[in-house]
Amino acid sequence: DAKTTQPTSMDCAEGRAANLPCNHSTISGNEYVYWYRQIHSQGPQYIIHGLKNNETNEMASLIITEDRKSSTLILPHATLRDTAVYYCIVRVRGDWAGKSTFGDGTTLTVKP
């Protein structure tokens, strides 16, 4: 499985865009990039996923570099409720097995 590297923590001002980076330099051609987040005391929540094209949904945008070795999750207008741990996961579609499925993620703190 491809390993991902994320910063341990990040801060963002409320109303500003939050850009969360993820490095996955050993990603394979059939592996997708998934993003989940976990708000305190809740289970993880799916945000978005992509293979090689940029993706956008009602929650966020995902920008994947052309060589697919890194990606950025963008929350366009962060709110206090976006404070959470964000996990970047690289997996073959539908295959969630592995010792460190989610890694340790990035703790995003949105400040007023």
What is the contact surface with another protein in residues (CB under 8 A)?
Answer: 32, 36, 41-46, 49, 85, 87, 93-94, 96-105
Q: Could you count the other beta carbons within 10 Å of the beta carbon of residue 43?
A: 7
Give the phi and the psi of residue 81 in degrees, each rounded to 5. Answer: -70, -10
CB of 112 to another protein, least distance (A): 26
Contact predicate 48/59, CB 8 Å = yes
Between 17 and 51, CB nearer to another protein: 51
Q: In angstroms, what is the minimal distance from the CB of 68 to another protein?
A: 17
How far, in Å, CA of 16 to CA of 20, rounded?
13
What's the min distance (Å) between Cβ of 95 and another protein?
A: 9
